[in-house]
Chain A
């Protein structure tokens, strides 16, 4: 049985970034896999770039960590030179420059999200290849394939912070249910004018979906019942 333990460390992943009325919510699962083995079941894929800008990482773990490290360093210098907090647009463009100029060697998809005083809450998606696209919401990673339809239906403009957080947690848990390379816990980071809040949803507190639900009105329950009850449909 070859589990592919010597393959590169990659994050199957589901990552999401969503804007709401006043800020952004970033969400991710926590599974890092090497081949078919889960190398880390509780990893943190949402890393800090500055006080007000965070990035969700997907794809190769090494590549995404190195890119975040470099961008954090450049942004730190930029903040010192500028004299005020960096904007989300600058952070996203720094990520994009690294991703585009090294596109042959990198394999990582990133979602940059944050809040600044000029534009408010903003989400930028930077997929493989180094495109930068500003979006009201962005999804990425292998689990995102299962969420396109869900977001088309569930997304709406001008949500509140609670609605946005609930949407993100629901979406990540749906992807975890269907994508083998996503799993573990759901981590969210909410960024608004006041600051940053991290939340953690352990696996057993996530909503259940479809086959994971306990069967109701199963034939066995009816057969084993002491007195025959009429079935309710």
Chain B
């Protein structure tokens, strides 16, 4: 029934097929540049423990190969009892979480009730599906409401999964390996925070797109705790105590200041006759 074919996995190693063609293109149109790719550098995780939900994220924001922000915040506020980690295009995750957060605020005023995680989930997935994956936001949504603790993953095309533990982003494989090894149901708060930190550290140290510090957010019934920079395993070492001084290179010989003056046009005396 499926029209998909079974794909052969790509062979390892560099494929030299297109090198000649790329070289020709670069020479031909005065250096037509190859398109650069933007990796979704991030490790975000979530897990359900005995009292609620713990979310974790790294803090590196990348622009291609450059670290744009060494300490950004990837755990976004959705509601007092719901937080959302975002991977993908930073603008998309910020905008979509802010949008849903304000929609939920209005909904709370309308219904006089605490927001539910499935409401946030449906609002997010409808929006992302409507944009057919062009809003590149991969989210880990977690929270505790009247129906209990919930953890969901939302993919850019709008599909969702409900899981007891989840990871997303370029470092998700490294973090998932830690979770698959050590996760069990009914973790305590300390065990949960430790496991989340370990998973994020696995992403930070093994994935080029993730780095810097670990942010953790613990949500329980009626209470939330946002542990910003819970762990900082990448401090700036070898800072010089002397400080930095820059030697003078150019010696000043003479200083002359001429204030700007109004110049007046004086018509010069003319001999020729005027009518």
Contacts and interface: CB of A to CB of B under 8 A. Distances in A.
A97 interface: no
29 contacts: A3-B173, A5-B170, A6-B40, A9-B159, A32-B159, A32-B161, A34-B155, A36-B9, A39-B155, A40-B153, A40-B161, A58-B1, A58-B2, A60-B157, A61-B155, A61-B159, A62-B125, A62-B128, A62-B133, A65-B158, A66-B129, A66-B158, A105-B132, A109-B1, A127-B1, A141-B2, A142-B4, A144-B2, A145-B2
A184 interface: no
Of A3, A8, A39, A141, most buried by chain B (CB within 10 Å of CB) is A39
A167 interface: no
In the A-B complex, the 7 residue pairs with the smallest Cβ-Cβ separation, listed nearest first, are A61-B159, A62-B159, A62-B157, A62-B158, A127-B1, A140-B1, A9-B159
A127 B4 CA distance: 12
A43 interface: yes
Binding site of A, secondary structure by majority: helix, strand, loop or mixed? mixed
Interface string A27-63: 0000010101101101100000000000000111110
Contacts of A34: 155
Interface residues of A, number: 34
Interface string A81-96: 0000000000000000
Nearest to B157: A62
B23 to A, nearest CB: 23
Given A6-B40, A34-B155, A36-B9, A141 B1 contact: yes
Contacts of A3: 173
B49 to A, nearest CB: 18
A40 B1 CA distance: 23
Given A39-B161, A40-B163, A9 B1 contact: no
Given A59-B2, A128-B3, A9 B173 contact: no
Contacts of A180: 6
Interface of A: 1-3, 5-6, 8-9, 32, 34, 36-37, 39-40, 42-43, 58-62, 65-66, 105, 109, 125, 127-128, 139-142, 144-145, 180
Nearest to A105: B132
Chain B interface category by residue count: 20 to 34
Nearest to A111: B1
Of A1, A8, A139, most buried by chain B (CB within 10 Å of CB) is A8
A65 B4 contact: no
B105 interface: no
Of A60, A62, A65, A66, most buried by chain B (CB within 10 Å of CB) is A62
B12 interface: yes
Contact of A8 (B1, B10, B157): B157
Interface in B114-163: 125, 128-129, 132-133, 153, 155, 157-161, 163
A8 B129 contact: no
B12 A128 contact: no
Contacts of B125: 62, 65
Contacts of B133: 8, 62
A228 B10 CA distance: 47
Interface in B1-20: 1-4, 6, 9-10, 12
Contacts of A9: 155, 157, 159
A123 B93 CA distance: 41
Nearest to A13: B2
Contact of B6 (A58, A59, A128, A142): A142
Nearest to B169: A5
Contacts of A61: 155, 157, 159
A37 B155 contact: no
Contacts of B158: 62, 65-66
Of B12, B40, B132, B161, most buried by chain A (CB within 10 Å of CB) is B161
